[in-house]
């Protein structure tokens, strides 16, 4: 927790120094609804060409932040700058942003062509130019030939592609995506993710992506902002967030993780009677703490002083197997290669070690 | 033959009989009317007329006041429809989009004009109309027709506006359109079917209105339904039949032309108080 806060402060610190380069800069944004939900003191800098994901459970305020950027919500306080210019007083139509909505929001009474050309006509582009851009945009989202169709004649995935193309055509300084793929089925969602990432590389567009799907966030983002109860819990790269979760919330929200009750004396951490961190390097204050270990960071060992447990179940899930171990009154999940799983059976006594783990003090929180 | 009915089952047979009764009940009188309109002589107990003729058509259409009444009725219906659209569409949009206190009660109050006995309502309106000099005027008739059409014209388009998702308007704002352009290019076209249906109802109900017109429009304004009363009273049945066909024709034509828009969904949506 302490570590995470320090990290956040340095992030915010660098942001304040480098405002000239940030494409989008949110400063101390607060918005509280009548219901008491909302966000407080959100600060975030997005660099040009970066894809930043706001991730969190529903109701954590991620959509509030996005809608504030797009101009659909008026924040109570704070500022939003795009390329160094405050956009707070601009209505949505004047902001250099474009949004892709969860529910596609194509206009059913217009053809795909007209849907795409709508924004360009308002910008008074030449007819030939509009025609060309629309064709290019449809090519980019792999929907050439759908121009004359009506949205109702397209599948969900195709409609979302059109919606994406419509937003891209506006050439926004920042593209906002509000859970764009959550209405699609799992397979299509994966495809769209890849496609979006490809489009982002091709166009170099700055994107802010909102999702509650941690897998989606991990797979497509340059940086992830984990939000919880209206506040930023952690802001870092996907790798870092997965390997070094800044708080217990982040640890349990992202990826699968085993949580174990443990105790710290300020230097060492122990689970039950076994000391798991002996080098005295821990920064966790003395008292109760929670140990978080990813299933892939557990291993079976023969070392004498390690944790002892009993295998409860072995489940083969394709190329790997999931092993449940009962250990110190906790149920641990562990991933092992399939070959190794063949030698394991339920009821077997084993010893487990940790490749790495993160400890969170329960004293400070 | 028996095996066939047995295989159908009692339920199917009852359903079929009910359907036939239903069809006869609804279409029988209409068929009778059509035949009557083109018959010359048709005496009981013959199933079909003894002679066919179009002479009553000739008679009806040669009456000057009949032709005048037809054009007057259509003129009034058109003016009523246009005025209702101008008055009610903004109101419908407000009911759908703007949360103001008691909005549900206001919407509900539109039903009140349909809750009282019409004649009682018209008589009290007539008292007001006398004071304002609106009796026996075109404007008076248009106003009295609009009393009836307010409900359709507000309820149905209001539900149509409500079915346009706010997010669809938002995405248009996002694309660079100002509020006014969003209304013209997105909201209005998407609500168009509902507005169309309401307009057709307004037009038809105005075309068909007799009570109010009789009270407010006499003696100078004789619309089709008014003329029809006197024709039915003064001439043989056949004229009434001919006239009914003339009155029904615009209804049928309009509904067929607009059948793309008229659906149970649109109507049902219109009568939900949300």
- Residue B46 sits in the same domain as residue B68: no
- Residue B215 sits in the same domain as residue B121: yes
Buried b (16+ CB within 10 A) or exposed e, A6-41: ebbeebbeebeeeeeebbbbbbebbbbeeeeebbbe
CB atoms B174 and A93 under 8 Å: yes
Indicate whether B127 belongs to any domain: yes
Whether the CB-CB separation of A323 and A295 falls below 8 Å is answered with no
Region of residue B149 (phi > 0: left; psi between -120 and 50: alpha; otherwise: beta): alpha
CA–CA distances in Å: residue A71 to residues A62, A97, A246, B111: 14, 9, 31, 39
Measure B161 CA to nearest chain A CA, in Å. 14
Strand partners, A359: A291
Contacts of B77 (CB under 8 A, 6+ apart): B145, B203, B204, B206, B207
- Residue B127 sits in the same domain as residue B9: no
Q: What distance in Å separates the CA atoms of residue B246 and residue B60, rounded to the nearest whole number?
A: 10
- Residue B6 sits in the same domain as residue B120: no
Indicate whether B58 belongs to any domain: no
State the pLDDT at residue B108. 80
Residue A328 has pLDDT above 90, yes or no: no
Number of inter-chain CB pairs under 8 A, A vs B:
60
CB atoms B174 and A91 under 8 Å: no
- Residue B109 sits in the same domain as residue B33: no
Q: Which domains does chain A have, with CATH numbers?
A: 2-96+172-250 (3.40.50.300), 256-361 (2.40.50.100)
- Residue B89 sits in the same domain as residue B111: yes
Whether A108 and chain B come into contact, CB under 8 Å, resolves to: yes
Query: What is the tally of helices (H) and strands (E) in chain B?
Result: 14, 2
Indicate whether B124 belongs to any domain: yes
Contacts of A133 (CB under 8 A, 6+ apart): A120, A125, A169
State the pLDDT at residue B267. 60
Q: Chain B residues with CB inside 8 Å of A152's CB? A: none
- Residue that is written with structure tokens 């039950």 in the block: A272
Measured in whole angstroms, the distance separating CA A178 from the mean position of its chain's CA atoms is 12
Indicate whether B210 belongs to any domain: yes
- Dump pLDDT digits (tens) for B144-191: 999 888 888 888 899 889 888 888 899 999 998 999 999 999 999 988
Average pLDDT of A152-181?
91
CATH of residue B141: 1.10.3720.10
The first and second tokens of residue A331, run together, are 């149920």
CA–CA distances in Å: residue B42 to residues B30, B196, B233, B244: 16, 41, 19, 18
Largest CA distance in chain B: 75
- Residue B38 sits in the same domain as residue B71: no
CB atoms A93 and B185 under 8 Å: no
- Dump pLDDT digits (tens) for A100-120: 998 888 998 899 999 999 999
CB atoms A107 and B172 under 8 Å: yes
Q: Whole domain around residue B152: which residue ranges?
A: 64-270
Q: List, edge to edge, every strand of the sheet that includes A298-300.
A: A298-300, A349-354, A307-317, A320-327, A330-337
Residue A10 has pLDDT above 80, yes or no: no
Indicate whether B57 belongs to any domain: no
DSSP letters along A40-62, please?
EEEEEEE-TT-EEEEE-STTSSH
State the pLDDT at residue B210. 85
- Residue B82 sits in the same domain as residue B46: no
How many structural domains compose chain B? 2
Q: What distance in Å separates the CA atoms of residue B40 and residue B49, rounded to the nearest whole number?
A: 7
Whether A97 and chain B come into contact, CB under 8 Å, resolves to: yes
> How many other CB atoms sit within 10 Å of the CB of residue A110?
18
DSSP letters along A304-347, please?
TTSEEEEEEEEEEETTEEEEEEEETTEEEEEEEEHHHHTT--TT
Average pLDDT of B19-39?
87
- Helix, strand or coil for residue A234? strand
The 3-class secondary structure across B29-54, one letter per residue, is: HHHHHHHHHCEEECCCCCCCCCEECC
Measured in whole angstroms, the distance separating CA B26 from the mean position of its chain's CA atoms is 18
- Residue B91 sits in the same domain as residue B9: no
CB atoms B165 and A122 under 8 Å: no
Indicate whether B59 belongs to any domain: no
Indicate whether B231 belongs to any domain: yes
Say which DSSP state B175 is in.
Answer: T
Residue A6 has pLDDT above 60, yes or no: no
Phi, psi of A146 (to 5 degrees): -95, 5
- Report the DSSP pairing between strands A77-82 and A307-317: unpaired
CB atoms A170 and B175 under 8 Å: yes
Say which DSSP state A77 is in.
Answer: E
Considering B52, B75, B92, which residue would you say is the last residue of a domain? Answer: B52
- Dump pLDDT digits (tens) for A115-143: 999 999 999 999 999 999 999 999 888 88
Buried b (16+ CB within 10 A) or exposed e, B27-54: eeeeeebeebbbbeebeeeeeebeeeee
Q: What distance in Å separates the CA atoms of residue A310 and residue A326, rounded to the nearest whole number?
A: 5
Q: List, edge to edge, every strand of the sheet that includes A287-293.
A: A274-277, A269-271, A258-264, A287-293, A358-361
Scanning A137-166 for CB atoms below 8 A from B yields 163, 166
- Residue B23 sits in the same domain as residue B159: no
The first and second tokens of residue A51, run together, are 């894809």
Whether A339 and chain B come into contact, CB under 8 Å, resolves to: no
Query: Which of A93, A94, A173, A178 should be substituted to probe chain B, the one whose Cβ sees the most B Cβ atoms within 10 Å?
Result: A93
Q: What distance in Å separates the CA atoms of residue B243 and residue B63, rounded to the nearest whole number?
A: 12
- Dump pLDDT digits (tens) for B222-267: 888 888 887 778 887 788 888 888 878 877 888 787 777 666 666 6
- Residue B11 sits in the same domain as residue B76: no
- Residue B88 sits in the same domain as residue B223: yes
Residue A14 has pLDDT above 60, yes or no: no
């Amino acid at each position: 927790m302490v570590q995470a806060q320090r990290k956040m402060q340095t992030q915010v610190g660098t942001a304040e120094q480098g405002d000239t380069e940030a494409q989008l800069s949110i400063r101390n944004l607060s918005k509280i609804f009548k219901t008491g939900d909302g966000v407080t003191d959100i600060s975030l800098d997005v660099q040009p060409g970066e894809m930043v994901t706001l991730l969190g459970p529903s109701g954590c305020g991620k959509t509030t932040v996005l809608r504030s950027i797009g101009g659909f919500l008026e924040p109570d306080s704070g500022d939003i700058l795009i390329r160094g210019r405050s956009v707070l007083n601009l209505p949505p139509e004047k902001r250099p942003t474009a949004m892709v909505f969860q529910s596609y929001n194509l206009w059913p009474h217009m053809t795909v062509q007209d849907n795409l050309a709508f924004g360009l006509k308002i910008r008074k582009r030449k007819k030939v130019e509009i025609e060309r851009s629309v064709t290019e945009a449809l090519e980019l989202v792999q929907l050439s030939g759908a121009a004359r169709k009506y949205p109702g004649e397209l599948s969900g995935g195709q409609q979302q592609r059109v919606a994406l193309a419509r937003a891209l055509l506006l050439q926004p300084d920042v593209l906002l995506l509000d859970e764009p793929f959550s209405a699609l089925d799992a397979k299509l969602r994966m495809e769209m993710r890849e496609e979006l990432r490809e489009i982002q590389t091709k166009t170099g567009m700055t994107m802010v992506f909102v999702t509650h799907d941690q897998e989606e966030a991990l797979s497509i983002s340059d940086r992830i902002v984990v939000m919880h109860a209206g506040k930023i819990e952690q802001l870092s790269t996907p790798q870092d967030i997965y390997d070094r979760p800044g708080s217990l919330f982040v640890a349990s929200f992202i990826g699968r993780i085993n949580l174990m009750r443990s105790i710290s004396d300020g230097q060492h951490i122990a689970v039950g009677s076994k000391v798991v961190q002996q080098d005295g390097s821990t920064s966790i204050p003395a008292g109760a703490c929670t140990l978080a270990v990813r299933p892939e960071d557990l291993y079976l060992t023969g070392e004498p002083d390690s944790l002892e447990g009993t295998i409860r179940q072995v489940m083969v899930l394709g190329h790997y197997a999931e092993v449940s171990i009962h250990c110190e009154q906790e149920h641990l999940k562990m991933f092992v290669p399939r070959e190794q799983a063949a030698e394991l059976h339920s009821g077997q006594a084993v010893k487990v070690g940790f490749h790495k783990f993160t400890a969170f003090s329960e004293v400070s929180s | 033959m028996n095996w066939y009915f047995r295989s159908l089952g009692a339920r199917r047979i009852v359903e079929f009989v009910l359907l036939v009764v239903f069809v006869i009940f609804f279409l029988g009188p209409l068929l009778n009317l059509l035949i009557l309109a083109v018959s010359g002589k048709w005496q009981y107990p013959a199933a079909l007329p003894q002679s066919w003729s179009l002479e009553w058509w000739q008679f009806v259409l040669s009456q000057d006041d009949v032709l005048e009444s037809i054009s007057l009725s259509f003129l009034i219906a058109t003016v009523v429809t246009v005025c209702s659209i101008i008055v009610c569409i903004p109101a419908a949009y407000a009911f759908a989009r703007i949360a103001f206190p008691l909005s549900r009660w206001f919407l509900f109050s539109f039903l009140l004009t349909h809750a009282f006995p019409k004649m009682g309502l018209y008589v009290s309106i007539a008292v007001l109309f006398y004071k304002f000099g609106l009796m026996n005027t075109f404007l008076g008739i248009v106003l009295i027709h609009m009393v009836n059409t307010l409900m359709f014209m507000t309820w149905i388009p209001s539900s149509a506006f409500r079915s346009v998702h706010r997010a669809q308007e938002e995405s248009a704002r996002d694309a660079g359109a100002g509020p006014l352009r969003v209304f013209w290019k997105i909201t209005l076209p998407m609500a168009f079917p509902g507005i169309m249906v309401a307009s057709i109802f307004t037009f038809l109900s105005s075309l068909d209105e007799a009570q109010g017109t009789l009270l407010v429009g006499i003696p100078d304004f004789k619309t089709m339904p008014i003329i029809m009363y006197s024709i039915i009273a003064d001439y043989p049945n056949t004229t009434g039949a001919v006239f009914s066909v003339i009155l029904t024709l615009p209804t049928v034509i309009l509904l067929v032309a607009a059948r793309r828009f008229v659906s149970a969904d649109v109507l049902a949506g219109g009568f939900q108080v949300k």
